[in-house]
Amino acid sequence: MAERQGWLWIDAAAAGAAAGVLAEVMVFRLNPEVSQHATAVLIGAPLWATWGALGFGLPLLALGAGLRALRRRRDLWLAPELTAVAYLAAAVICLVNADLHEFLLSSVALRVLAQDGVAWAVGLALALLGGAAVRRAGAPTRLRVAFAAAIIALPLARMLLQPTPPGSPLEVAARPIGAPTQRLLVVGVDGLDAAVLLGRVDDTRAPQLAALERRGCWGPLTPHRPHLRRSAWTSTAVGSYPGRHGVKSKRGWLLPWLPGEPLRLLPWTPQGSRLILPWGLAREVTPPAASVPPLWERLRASGVPTAAVDWPGIWGATVTLEPWRPADRQDLEPAVRSSLEWALEPFPEQAPAVWRAVGGDRGRVAAALAALEAGAGDVWIHLEVLSAARTGLEPLKPRHTREREVVELALQLTDDHLGALLAAAGDGATVAVVAPYGLAPPTPWERLQRLLGIGGAWRVSPDTNPDGVLLLAGPGVATGQRFAGARLADVAPTLCYLLGLPTAQYMEGGLIVDAIAPEFLSAHALRVAE
């Protein structure tokens, strides 16, 4: 009897080892850029298997002990049921990740990932059927060992027989695309969304944004899932999705047995993505830069004087960003400084982030204004004070009056910066104010986590991927319109069209037709260049 009781931890460890190998397969599926030869898979298999035996085996051990207690049989062999749980979890997580990463992987890689979900469901059935056959034979030790070996080897066999289709990002050089007919000003505003435009923007609090709404058009901008900040800003600037430009997470993970290329993407799992990597062997690195040039580099290559001031993303040596210096707090106008000091006084924890954003925005705007005054015909700039204020101090309740003061001051500062940039750009410029994602309050799940003491402390966040916004103004833009919706990759092609330039073949977005004046559409044919 004691020998039978001792089998439970072995059964749980075997099922956990199978879960670890299933995790290895999932990690490789999400990283088609990484070389996935048989040697790399086989070297990683024992590391993932032992990691899974510990990390997933312990919960399975508790589950098995509970099942034994319920059935009042301490000699019950539970390896098939525990293995079925591991395969069920893998099947569900595969299908969730296939849906979640629609724009981050190629269609072929997504199809293989979804097929894995079906394969693991079949593996679940095989585990139960194989377990039943072993029980009918009396469950001798040799058959139990063979069963454990088979369930661990099954994911490896599938990985080796159907490897992940290679999928390196598209490599595109910044070739000339043509000379625009007018100046371009693109202002990225972190923290701007429909809630701000509809609830806070008016001629008193944000006159520049209100005027842009009247003389141009605006609408929601739908980000790709999951929320990856640098990836979203990159997609907006290049006109393609992460599967093509290569920027995914802000972190890369370099495995010692795969030194050539870091992992760019980890699967979503309930316990967190980082824990899926075995034994802390992965080293955090900066992931590879975007392989597709942003629109401003195509314009620079065309001879247009260009300035891009701190546009978020992961950019390589071929992309030039203007130098800038944050403004010192003491350099602010006395009225602005005193108003912010009074509003932030009750919030000592949130105040430093807001002050840093205020100084950063001042420095970036100064660099952009200098470029415009020097004759730049293409300027891109990113502002963040609105996001810094809203993230920690969004007034979610009527009693949040001081928080409301901070957010409205941040909106006024952003609007003032926008006014200065618009004045320097001139009346004939094409203007885009873009926020690739919005901010949303905590979900019920996040609120439950906070009750348990494990949630965040923010008021609003982009984690749930709420819609951002896009405002357009200038020649060819429909006046006073609100378009139904657009995607991140639609921004760059639409700007090309409004500037009288061809779109590029690698751009996966299309024109936001509702944002363009009908007479402009009828007079300008859509052209495509390499």
pLDDT digits (tens, 9 = 90+) for 327-370: 998 888 898 899 999 999 999 999 999 999 999 999 999 999 99
Neighbours of 283 (CB within 10 A): 12
Structural domain harbouring 22: 2-161
Query: How many domains does the structure of the chain reveal?
Result: 2
Contact (CB, 8 A) for 491 and 219: no
Provide the whole-model pTM: 0.92
Is residue 201 in some structural domain? yes
Beta strand 486-487 with 217-222 is parallel
pLDDT for position 445: 84
The answer on 200 and 144 residing in a single domain is: no
Whole-number mean pLDDT of the chain?
93
Contact (CB, 8 A) for 248 and 228: yes
- Using CA atoms in the order 239, 243, 247, 253, what is the torsion angle rounded to 10 degrees? 180
Asked if the model's pLDDT at residue 176 lies above 60, the reply is yes
CA dist list (Å): 313 to 83, 103, 233, 434, 439: 41, 17, 6, 15, 19
Contact (CB, 8 A) for 305 and 374: yes
The answer on 319 and 394 residing in a single domain is: yes
pLDDT for position 168: 86
Rounded Cα–Cα distance for residues 312 and 295 (Å)? 14
Contact (CB, 8 A) for 262 and 282: no
Helix (H) or strand (E) holding 306, with range, is strand 306-309
Beta pairing partners, 473? 431
Give the least confident one: 184-193, 326-335, 385-394: 326-335
Confidence grade of residue 74 (pLDDT, cut at 50, 70, 90): low
The answer on 69 and 22 residing in a single domain is: yes
Is residue 265 in some structural domain? no
The answer on 53 and 194 residing in a single domain is: no
The answer on 343 and 243 residing in a single domain is: yes
Beta strand 468-473 with 217-222 is antiparallel
The answer on 154 and 204 residing in a single domain is: no
Neighbours of 421 (CB within 10 A): 22
Percentage of the chain lying above the pLDDT 90 cut: 79
The answer on 393 and 244 residing in a single domain is: yes
Q: Which of 195, 262, 172, 216 is nearest to 429 (CA)?
A: 216
CA dist list (Å): 475 to 25, 185, 517, 518: 51, 13, 9, 12
Which of 92, 126, 161 is where one domain is finished?
Answer: 161
CA dist list (Å): 218 to 209, 241, 484: 11, 22, 9
Rounded Cα–Cα distance for residues 482 and 461 (Å)? 25
pLDDT for position 87: 97
Rounded Cα–Cα distance for residues 505 and 425 (Å)? 29
Helix (H) or strand (E) holding 469, with range, is strand 468-473
